[in-house]
Structure 1
């Protein structure tokens, strides 16, 4: 590891990340960016603070990229090496991947003018096409929402029924008439581990306008409550549309950190929203030793 590795801090609708530029895989190889280091980076008092870590790295330098990308390996120059704040790996993150592309552009690793039609980025959930909007925001083709049953979340003695939806990672999207602003998400919701053996992101959703506008709070596995969740917004939009009998439509999703837009079609889901870099700097050598 270099004595002073560069770091960026950014967010997508206040879902915040420590971003580690490592194009050639030499600064943060896997044995150095281990669970303990991720937790230290994300710790909000003794570290930099964040809901997760994004490593900007070329796919050929990621050990498990061939297994998760398959035939798309050569088409995905870049890989979003995403870790949750607890150090665990994450398959996909809609806010994170928009920030990932924004950071690539800001670092001069990708030309923004070449992003209008999108570029393929590798993730542990498979390849995703991410693009730049003319208004300065970013969009990502998240692939189709895949329902796989129903379940319940138990929170502070209350039970919330929900739709199990995969967006490359697992979600339990719960429509409720209980105002989401009144809920205490300080503790992780309980859920059916048989339905979600690898854990689950739980969305609590109020419908503002049926099939068109929802309000969302989320508890993310490995993190806790976050200010936003892109894959969760997609799962919420799909579930809100399904509740009206619709299979397609565009849903505005308000999260504590801002506003997202989700377009659901018969074949895919497109998430749009902002991505912001807040700061750039280096890690001090005195902090790096454990």
Structure 2
């Protein structure tokens, strides 16, 4: 069978979006995800998004990394989905995800997403054993004493003088798979520019280096706020562009930024089994 898709991105973090709200698609196996995500022989993407009907929200969003693993949340994906369903006339959308209900709405030319309440307890990251998540007493080749935050996805955040100087392509996979993180982890290296701005690079669990990571921006902002390095509203500059992150008095994180549609197409499902 032929299946339609939409190629989208949020600050260069790119997605293949499959819409199964109008009818079921064949089972989505990890091998199919990997084949579709391949940038040489497939469509190419950091994550694949599957839209399905929901009984508790406007729609359900399942998120698969390029390696075929399924994850609970993706901040940039939520903005992309909000743009995608704007075609249906929805200016505000609620999405059922593995991390719970997430709401997004149009904010001028951008989209604002309520990313919920961050978790910082060691067993909600999770870590393999109890440690202080504000400053873990661990290190990898000069990256030391990181902060851990779970915002639907687990993140470890290192604050460094120059995030561009860190060999993240080498250290990222090593830290991601460290036994300290039983569910693997997203690796963030951040430089605080001033109390209103952070520079950030991210190694994403299951996807590798990406141009932007919405949950990474949220986790890094919360980590910097917990350490008293920035104010409660901050801009996070990633290689693909800038997101605006706020941590409200109610404990909830808001993320605002753009999303874009690249193109639409179709493929033969049998070619990617």
Which TM-score band (shorter chain)?
A: 0.7 to 0.9
Cα drift, residue 131 of structure 1? 1.0
- The structure 2 residue matched to 1:136, chosen from 109, 114, 127, is 109
Deviations 1:118-162 (A, max 9, x none): 3321000111111111x22111100122223143452xx333321
SS at match of 2:71: coil
Provide closer, same or farther for how the CA distance between residues 289 and 9 of structure 1 changes in structure 2, counting only shifts above 3 A: closer
Contact 1:56 1:104 in 2 (8 A): no
- The structure 1 residue matched to 2:24, chosen from 16, 23, 26, is 26
Q: Which residue of 1 aligns with 2:74?
A: 93
SS at match of 2:33: helix
- The structure 2 residue matched to 1:216, chosen from 195, 200, 212, is 200
Deviations 1:237-262 (A, max 9, x none): 1111222277x611100000101000
Cα drift, residue 57 of structure 1? 1.4
Pair 1:168 & 2:149 matched: no
SS at match of 2:35: helix
Contact 1:13 1:257 in 2 (8 A): yes
Pair 1:48 & 2:63 matched: no
Aligned residues: 257
Q: Which residue of 2 aligns with 1:253?
A: 236
Contact 2:199 2:237 in 1 (8 A): yes
Q: Which residue of 2 aligns with 1:36?
A: 31
Q: In structure 2, how many angstroms separate the alpha carbons of the residues matched to 1:202 and 1:189?
A: 10
Deviations 1:3-35 (A, max 9, x none): 22101111001110111121145124xxx3100
Q: In structure 1, how many angstroms separate the alpha carbons of the residues matched to 2:232 and 2:24?
A: 44
SS at match of 1:47: coil
Q: In structure 1, how many angstroms separate the alpha carbons of the residues matched to 2:143 and 2:229?
A: 24
Contact 2:8 2:260 in 1 (8 A): yes
Pair 1:273 & 2:257 matched: yes
Q: Which residue of 2 aligns with 1:145?
A: 118
SS at match of 1:186: helix
Q: In structure 1, how many angstroms separate the alpha carbons of the residues matched to 2:114 and 2:194?
A: 24
Q: In structure 2, how many angstroms separate the alpha carbons of the residues matched to 1:256 and 1:99?
A: 18
TM-score (norm 2): 0.88
C-alpha RMSD of matched pairs (Å): 1.9
4+ aligned runs moved over 6 Å, structure 1: none
The 5-angstrom pairing of residues 192-203 of structure 1 reads 193=178, 195-203=180-188
Contact 2:32 2:272 in 1 (8 A): no
Q: In structure 1, how many angstroms separate the alpha carbons of the residues matched to 2:225 and 2:272?
A: 50
Contact 1:8 1:281 in 2 (8 A): yes
Q: In structure 2, how many angstroms separate the alpha carbons of the residues matched to 1:131 and 1:222?
A: 28
Structure 2 residues not aligned, in runs of 5+: 122-132
The 5-angstrom pairing of residues 56-95 of structure 1 reads 56-59=51-54, 74-95=55-76
